[in-house]
Amino acid sequence: MALTLTAKKPKAAARSKHFRKDGVKLLLMASPFVLFALAFNYVPLFGWTYAFFDYHPGIPINQTEFIGLQNFRDMFSDPRMGPVLVNTLALSFLSILTAPIPMLFAVMVSEVRSGWFKRLVQTVSTLPHYISWIIVYALAFSMFSTEGAVNTILSHLGISDTPVNVLGNYERVWTVQTLLLLWKGVGWSAIIYLAAIVSIDSEQYDAAKVDGAGRLRTIGHITIPSIMPTFIVLLLLSISNLLSAGFEQYLVFSNVMVADRIEVLDLYVYRLGLVTGDYSYSTAVGMFKSVISILLLFTVNFLSKKFRGQGIV
């Protein structure tokens, strides 16, 4: 027995040394990404101090007047803050309402039997994600402006003589922007669900086929319930980002006719800081958005733990 224990000790020590060596390697490999996250996500948090000062560019912060919570009081009395929050929440809720579409699209793609056609659909649907919003705006303008391709075709066919200004429609701008966002992101978002579908145990499908279940029954009883946890996690993350409706899309699609309906919180902060130069107030608004997002994240995490038994944090 003593000899056996003595023989095992060197093996255990060698294994522990091997694990420590691998751990150091993994830590060194991850360190650039950790430093990147710290530099771009946490170091800028020191800039929140500007929200409590009457800061002006060129004047050191230690020579700037301390105004405390004045910027936050001004934020709640700002007449523009109400419409901006309405636009942000409306566009975020519309995006959440379309959240099941990538999941359903992934299910349909997974049911395609032809390998080349499946790859073609995945490539075509994912490609818009890599197109910048400036290019998307150029394409949309060339197609949907009053002199664009759609109005030209309708005019030549005699269907409509009055051009329809889709990009300048004040009443439909939320719908148009939601459809553009869906077109650009549906293929990319479906990748997560396709990965979840691939991980489903194939024996479940074999058992369903033996029991005589058709394709629709298999989808309804195996595929969708199996990927539903992934959908719930992504949905909860979307709810926690209600105040982050986006920036680039609404910046490039903003025009005189729809500016009041398309100005979201991120775009409002950008204009406050870089256009009007009110850095202190814009920092306060950005700080307010970040705090609310964190509170929403922990709230949906608490509700998820309470009703589902597991959270996302």
- Whole-angstrom Cα distance, residue 28 to residue 31? 5
How many angstroms separate the first and last alpha carbons of the chain?
A: 47
Query: What's the mean pLDDT in 88-117?
Result: 91
Predicted local distance difference test score (pLDDT) of residue 5 = 47
Angle, vertex CA 224, rays to CA 223 and CA 225, nearest 5: 95
Predicted local distance difference test score (pLDDT) of residue 93 = 93
Binned at pLDDT 50, 70 and 90, residue 3 comes out as: very low
DSSP notation for 224-280: HHHHHHHHHHHHHHHHHTTT---SHHHHHH--TTTHHHH--HHHHHHIIIIIS--HH
Render pLDDT for 172-186 as a digit per residue (tens, 0 to 9).
Answer: 999 999 999 999 999
Predicted local distance difference test score (pLDDT) of residue 16 = 62
pLDDT, averaged across the chain: 86
Helix, strand, coil content of the chain in percent (nearest 5): 75, 0, 25
Render pLDDT for 288-309 as a digit per residue (tens, 0 to 9).
Answer: 888 888 888 888 888 888 777 7
Query: What's the mean pLDDT in 193-222?
Result: 87
Q: Is the pLDDT of residue 165 over 90?
A: no
Q: Is the pLDDT of residue 7 over 60?
A: no
Predicted local distance difference test score (pLDDT) of residue 243 = 86
Using CB atoms within 10 Å of the CB of residue 82, give its burial: 0 to 12 exposed, 13 to 18 middle, 19+ buried: exposed
